[in-house]
Structures are given as C-alpha cells and as structure tokens.
Amino acid sequence: MPQLFLALLFLGFSGFAHAEDADIARLFDEAGVDGTLVIESAETGQRYVHNEARAKQPFTAASTFKVLNTLIALEEGAIAGADEIIPWDNTRYEIEDWNRDQTLKSAFQVSCVWCYQWLARRVGAADYPPHIRQAHYGQLREPFNGTEFWLDGSLTISAEQQIELLKRVTARSLPYRTSSYDTLKTVMLTEAAKDYRLYAKTGWAARSTPGTGWYIGYVETGENTWLFALNLDTRTVRDLPLRQQIALNALRAKGILPAD
C-alpha cells in the first residue's frame, strides 16, 4: 500500500511538472498560431511548457544557430571580437541593414546571413561537426553544405534541445574561452533594464511550408536566470512579430519580466 501511494504521488507530481500551461496556451490561441514555448529556471528547474510534444520535435535551426556559431567562430579564430569589421562585398540584399560593412555585434543583431556565411567559410565545414557534437546541439545530417546547413534543413533542433544549449551557455560548461562567452553575451544583449537583462536571438526557417519562426534566449533577474525557447508555424512574414510578442508576453505572465 505505501508503494502504491508513493507511485501515485510520483505520477501526480510528474503530471503537474509537465502540465500544459494555460497562460501560455492562451497567448498562442489568441494569436491563432501553432507552436511551442518552454521556459525554465536555470537555478531551480521550474518549468512552464506549452505543447510539450512539439517541444521535443526538431525543426531547422535557422539563425538561432548563430548562438553556438558565434562561439565556434571565436574559438576557431574566424573573428577576434564583437567589434571586428566584416567587410561587405557590395552585393545588394533585400534586407537593407545587411547592405553595409558589419561587426560581429551588428551581424548578430540584424541576423545577417551573408556575414555568418563569411564566418563559416573561415571556420571551414570540417570543423563544425565536432563542435556540434560536443555541444549536443540537435541533429546534423551529413554530408552538408558548409555555408547553408543551418538554413537548408541539414541542422535541426527542438525547443527542448535549445534549452539544453542555453543551460550550457549560461553555465559556461562548454570548453570555450571566457573571452568567447563574454563576446557572445555582448552580442546577444537585447534589452538592459534596472531589474533584468534580456539576451535573445530570432530565427526564421523560410524554406519549408509552413515556415518555422524561432525566438530563444534567457533573462537574468536579480535572483534567477530564466531560459526560453519558442518556435511557431509562420505562414507569411506577417507572422514574424508573433515570435517575440508571444515569448515576451509569456515571460510577463509568469512574472519574469515586468508587466507593461
């Protein structure tokens, strides 16, 4: 009888820990979009999850790979720091912010694809698989195109795996230099306020139908670090603002970010 009680108790707590979060589900419902969001405390492991089945499903990494790719580029000496110039070759791109010289910091913040392709050529395709395996980063299908693999579906990752990467990044548990982590933190900083700092990266895998929009990152508060990973189906470019909108509203709903 005690064993039965303990088993039921365990199941009850397990169900509670992985229960669908109603606040987050409401945000997706109101936006009329399918997706998932995982929020987890790096300190306590407390979690809020919407659509746990999808959270385990891999999708094209797209520009969220820039988080790990930045560390790789720095470690491999492809670039020296946040302010080093990445020279524009005068190719005209649809996104006007790309049509100029960049730094690592600006390239990360405007999600400059050609900039990270330039870095990828400097790193070299053969050096990527060991870094990706070491970081336990998603799944890389080989052979792959050395400047397209995070865009063309060769590299996929789930929201749950994004959270695991963010844990390693914030704990600095991957064997990278302190200076590389410091530079990544500099380029990832999205918002600095009195009570919190937000570090984040968007992504958009547009080569499938529907596309996949990403928003991943973490929030440092006084007492805690909260990791988050969202992905959602994108039907057109008009859906892209929903990535940040839903994630940030969920963080506000959980009291991690202050209410507007």
Of the candidates 222, 214, 208, the one whose C-alpha atom is nearest the C-alpha of residue 256 is 222
The pair phi, psi for residue 70, each rounded to 5°, is -65, -45
Give Cα 218 to chain centroid, integer Å.
9
> What DSSP string describes 130-156?
HHHHHTT-SEE-SS--TTTTTTSSSEE
CA distance 35 to 51: 7
Which tokens in the block code for residue 155? Answer: 């590299």
Active site residue 208: no
Catalytic residue from among 14, 41, 63, 154: 63
Structure tokens at 63: 């520009």
Query: Cα–Cα distance between 124 and 256 in angstroms, integer?
Result: 39
SS3 225: strand
Active site residues: 63
